[in-house]
Structure 1
Amino acid sequence: MPLNAGDTGYGRVPGPGLSGSEVASESAPLLIPVPEPESVQEWQPMSKQQLEVAAGGPGWRKVRCYLVLLFWLAWVAMLATSIAIVVMSPRPVATPLRWWQKSLFYQLQPDLFTEGQAEESGGVNALCEQLPYLRSLGIGALILEGLFDKEASPFNVTATGERYSTLAQIQHLLAESNKAGLKVVLDFCQLDLLGPQDVSGNAEEPSNTVHHVLRFWLEQGVDGFAICDTDAAYSEKTLLEWRGVFKEFSKKEEEEERIVVVKQTQDALFPLNNVTLVDVVMKSILPSSPHLLSAQEVAVAIETRLQTREEDIWPSWKIGGKASHDLKKLLLVLMMTLPGSPAVQYDEDIDQTQNVSLKAGSSHGEMNEPSDTRTDKKKAKRLAVALFTSLSRSRAREEALLYGSFTFLPFNSSTNSSTNSSTSTLPSPPSLAVLAYLRSWGCVHFLILLNVGPEVHALDPAWAPSLPKAGVFVSSTGMDRLGAMTLDTLELQPHEAIVIKLFEAGSYS
């Protein structure tokens, strides 16, 4: 029997449960042919014609060139505009300052040169040892007072008085001052340099004597002379002759120029037709008085000085009158921040000899004092030196305190309530107690606040709306204010003076 006979062969008989498609799959080929991969066109760079077509044609190239040219023209225009704004915008111009305009004057009183003082502290020799220390405090010039007897004639003016140190000691002091970098000014105030005069006011002695005196001290290294506005030497004729002598010793360098200092003792200085004959006018902040001035009198005197400043001749400020010990530091802050050169009188609180004696505990009667008293004195002297150094260094490095503009900021007071009541909301009593002024240079502002009265005062936010509200403390009479501050939260303690450097919000100029 044939196996594959007929259409119903063995391989075509479907089994139970098998469909016809499954049977048909058995007849499919075992290997399925893989389709051939499509051919990939190889990448080729576009030609110049194809690029121009893709970029929109030849006109697109001109558009790109115009856009690039427009970009550079706009950039150059912005740069030129910025330069023009910087050049044309108003800005402060620093005027070169002479050595006496940058210096801090230190007035040495006659008691330093007396025999009694010499026995205690070594006199001139002790002073010579302190010169580097004084220079480190920021002092730039010494004014030696009381070296000559007022009765001395022009012929023996080069010889010091009997109760003062010898000429050799003074020459030693001048030499040591020059080594320490300190300028020296001799005080001839109220000294009869011109000799006896006739009825017409002309000197009977020849002026060669005065020239001899000037040349003698200029050869010793003196950098200037101080006279009073009431002296006969304060005249155009005499000062012109002095200028002629100065030219013989002054060099081209500004640091070698010789100066004339006039101490103003009257309310108004007698004007000279040639104001260049005088370099410095020394003025007193407080009026002379036999008694201590009250806080009200001090405040009125300060406000009068702040409102009646003269700009013709470079000023030098000294305290002049008598004030209480509580206002001593306040007046120091005032002198060091006013336009001009401060002239500080000899202060035992910053005297190195006094500090050494405190450390040793060997000064007269100090061993018998309680330890708390000695500690308080040491602390007070340290604070006095710290305040003096802080103010002198701030004045030396801050342009605003050297030659910045001055703006008086009035509070509501008995003297200006009628004119400034709308700009002042400080809740102060009728008596004048708080004073303020601004020293500005460019965008830098220094605010100086003086609370002369014995009460605490808080600044009202609406007092000066144009001022920046934020700032940092630079210095204060108590040397206890540090860091950032805001005017809205500031309170002035009794007899306190504060120096603040203001800045706009987000600025640290």
Structure 2
Amino acid sequence: MEQTHKNTAEETGNTPGRMPLNAGDTGYGSVPGPGLTGSVVDTESTPLLIPAEEPEPYQRWQPMSKEELELAAGGPGWRRVRCYLVLLFWLAWVAMLATSIAIIVVSPRPVATELTWWQKSLFYQLQPDLFTDKHSEGSEGINVLCEQIPYIRSLGIEALILEGLFDKGASPLNLTAASGKVGTLPQIQHLVAESNKAGLKVVLDFCEVDLIGPQDVEENADKLSNQSVTAYRLRFWLQQGVAGFAICDTDAAYSEKTLLEWRGVFREFSQEEERIVVVKQTRDILPPLNNSTLVNVVVRSILPPSNHLLPAKEVADAIEKHLQTKEEDIWPSWTVGGKASPDLKKLLRVLMMTLPGSPAVEYDEDLDQRQNVSLNARSSLGENNSPSDSQIDKEKQKRLAVALFTSLSHSRAREEALLFGSFTFLPFNSSSNASSSISGSPPLPVLAFLRSWGCVHFLVLLNVGPEPHLLDPAWAPSLPKAGVFVTSTEMDRLGTTDLYSLELRPHEAIVIKLFEAGSYS
């Protein structure tokens, strides 16, 4: 046993009680032996901190050479192609521009006639004594009318024709004695001044007033040494700011001799704005004058005078007669004239506001702001004094009338076609939806006309009869088939429409702005 141990010790080269000489080689403790990754050699040569990777060397940017650019762009051939494409683009652009200019130059263009203020204005005929009623609360008519000037101006009205200021045969100088029921001279002067401040022209109605005869001019005899009585009276009112005078075709002043004298007086006051003469036509034919320029505006009635409501047939005949009549050189102004039902009254208002000329609207309670205020006051009562259905309906009709009037006046003010566009009467057939006509008489035709300015067209349709109508598809094939509603008598037509699917209601008038399919010009 001892021998065996001894031999073993000798083979290993170790003697008992001594540390092996190659202890480091065999590994001791946590130090790995040779050939392992954690050897003594590796441990000593490995740095304690791992160094960061060094950045790549910075390469300085250099622009590409011409050869490199051509190579990247596909070669020199592509450069020539791009140059040709750019040149072709600019040549095409210049060609389109030149073609557009040529089309504009060659195309016929409407020539705008410069209109004077009285050719663009909407006239409102009224009598100041109509404002002297229970709503004026004791104030006189002139003062109440002064308070209504801003409201009247907001409706689009630009000129007032004041009627009833002078009694028949009275002198226009002595207002206090002649028309004390209407107002005194200072009140009328104040009315004229307030109207001018609001941009509202004032035209005095001298119909049936004796302007020729010598009337009570002794106190002004020294001023009349070199002028006639009429010239002195005209100068008096022109100095107050009056824009013109209205006479009837039956007055003695309606003569070439008298109107020539008036024109001489007007020249003294027409440096800034022209002063005008308005003639109210009371006969079927206006008495001719050798010099038609002596009269600026002729007020014509659409309906014949009548004391009773005219039937629809007479209204339709009167409208068709005026639509087919070519107007004279004298500038026309349209007014309703005769009496008609409330439905036809709205239709006639649309007609006269869209005809060529200057509309002259007569005083209407539906446009009176005081009437609307009184209705609103009654509508705001308590439950015990609640308004009746008739009062509510009346208030609704008044609001509708104001909305229709405002829509027509504003459309006419901003649309050139309605101001000085051409006029074309459009007679056409229509199909009636009524199974039978009233009293066995044939249905009334639909009346229509066109107002055009350049490429803008306004179509006005008037159904005077009591039956609904559809337009015949064969009607006016040259016109566009689509349009947009501008206004209607009931103010309930909105948006676009197709003419061939449009149904006209009884006693309805419609204004449509036509446009080509797919266009809203």
Q: TM-score range by the shorter chain?
A: 0.7 to 0.9
2:239 counterpart residue number: 219
- Distance, in Å, in 2 between the alignment partners of 1:64 and 1:360 is 79
Residue in 2 that maps onto 1:26: none
The verdict on how the C-alpha distance between 1:307 and 1:368 changes in structure 2, with shifts beyond 3 A counting, is farther
How far is 1:405 from its partner?
0.8
- Cα distance change of structure 1 residues 327 and 99 upon mapping to structure 2, 3 Å threshold: same
Contact 2:131–2:144 (8 Å) recurs in 1: no
Coordinate RMSD, CA, aligned: 3.3
What is aligned with 1:185?
203
**Which residue in 2 is equivalent to 1:501?**
513
How far apart are 1:433 and its partner, in Å? Answer: 3.8
Q: Is the 8 A contact 1:154 1:194 kept in 2?
A: no
Distance 1:507 1:70, change over 3 A: closer
Please give the residue correspondences for 1:14-413 in structure 2 after superposition, counting only pairs within 5 Å. Answer: 76=94, 78-109=96-127, 111-112=129-130, 122-153=140-171, 156=174, 160-195=178-213, 208-252=228-272, 256-361=273-378, 370-412=387-429
The worse-fitting range, judged by mean Cα deviation, of 61-70 and 401-410 is 61-70
Q: 2:450 is paired with a residue of what secondary structure?
A: strand
Q: Given residue 298 of structure 1, which amino acid in structure 2 is its aligned partner?
A: V
Q: Separation in 1 of the partners of 2:159 and 2:512? A: 27
The count of residues paired between Structure 1 and Structure 2 equals 438
**Structure 1 residue 400: Cα displacement:** 0.8
8 A contact 1:157–1:213 mirrored in 2:
no
Rounded to whole Å, the distance in 2 between the matches of 1:362 and 1:72 is 70
- For 2:358 and 2:264, how far apart are their aligned partners in 1? 25
Change beyond 3 A, Cα 1:156–1:166: closer
Q: Secondary structure at the match of 1:394?
A: helix
Alignment pair present for 1:441 and 2:441: no
Q: SS at 1:344's partner residue?
A: strand
Deviation at 1:207? 6.0
Q: Contact 2:121/2:159 (CA < 8 Å) preserved in 1?
A: yes
CA–CA distance in structure 2, aligned partners of residues 148 and 177 of structure 1: 19
CA distance in 2 between counterparts of 1:232 and 1:207 reads 18
Deviation at 1:311, TM superposition (A): 3.9
State the partner residue of 1:485: 497
Within 2, Cα distance between the matches of 1:138 and 1:404? 20
For the 8 Å contact 2:175–2:184, the answer to whether it is kept is: no
Q: CA offsets per residue over residues 359-411 of structure 1, 9 Å max, x none?
A: 11299xxx978522221121111111111111111101111111111110113
1:75 CA displacement:
5.7
| Partner AA of 2:450 in structure 1 | L
Secondary structure in structure 1 of the residue aligned to 2:483:
strand
Unaligned runs of 5+ in 1: 1-42, 48-53, 198-204, 413-423
Alpha-carbon separation, structure 2, partners of 1:369 and 1:115: 25
Sort the Cα spacing of 1:481 and 1:66 in 2 relative to 1 into closer, same or farther, 3 A: closer
CA distance in structure 1 between the partners assigned to 2:386 and 2:119 by the alignment: 43
Q: Is the 8 A contact 1:160 1:166 kept in 2?
A: no
Residue 39 of structure 1 corresponds to which residue in structure 2? none
What is the match of residue 23 of structure 2?
none
- TM (norm. structure 2) is 0.76
**Identical pairs, percent:** 76
Which protein has the larger Cα radius of gyration, Structure 1 or Structure 2? 2
Q: Which residue of 1 aligns with 2:18?
A: none
Question: CA separation of 1:44/1:104 partners in 2, compared to 1, >3 Å: closer, same or farther?
Answer: closer
| In 2, Cα distance between equivalents of 1:114 and 1:55 | 94
Give 1:196 deviation, angstroms: 7.5
What letter matches 2:479 in structure 1? L
**2: CA distance between counterparts of 1:137 and 1:44?**
76
Greater CA drift, 391-400 or 66-75: 66-75
Secondary structure of the equivalent of 1:335?
helix
Partner of 1:24: none
Between the aligned partners of 1:161 and 1:354, the Cα distance in structure 2 is 25
* TM-score, length basis structure 1: 0.78
The match for 1:459 among 437, 454, 471 is 471
Separation of aligned partners in 2, 1:494 and 1:334: 15
User: After superposition, what is the alpha-carbon deviation per residue over 1:290-315, rounded to whole angstroms, capped at 9, x for unaligned?
Assistant: 32211000000000011113140111
- State the Cα deviation string for residues 216-271 of structure 1 (Å, max 9, x = none): 1111111000011111111222111111111111224xxx2211111111111122
Residue 160 of structure 1: how far off its partner (Å):
3.8
Would you say the 8 A contact 1:426–1:460 is kept in 2?
no
Query: Which consecutive unaligned segments of at least 5 residues does structure 2 have?
Result: 1-63, 69-74, 216-224
Displacement, 1:125? Answer: 1.3
Q: Distance in 2 between matches of 1:158 and 1:77?
A: 75
Q: CA deviation at 1:426?
A: 6.6
Deviation at 1:152, TM superposition (A): 1.3
**Which sits farther off after the overlay, 76-85 or 371-380?**
76-85
Secondary structure in 2 matching 1:241: helix
Give the 3-state SS of the residue equivalent to 1:361 in structure 2: helix
Do the aligned residues in 2 keep the contact of 1:112 with 1:118 (CA within 8 Å)? no
Q: Which moved more, 1:212-221 or 1:271-280?
A: 271-280
TM-aligned CA deviation for residue 461 of structure 1: 1.5
Deviation at 1:88, TM superposition (A): 2.0
Give, in angstroms, the shift of residue 493 of structure 1.
0.8
Query: Is the Cα contact below 8 Å between 2:125 and 2:361 reproduced in 1?
Result: yes
For 2:148, what is the secondary structure of its paired residue?
Answer: helix
Closer, same or farther: CA 376–141 of 1 in aligned 2, 3 Å = same
CA deviation vs aligned residue, 1:409-435 (integer Å, no higher than 9, x gap): 1134xxxxxxxxxxx667796353421
Paired residue secondary structure (1:332): helix
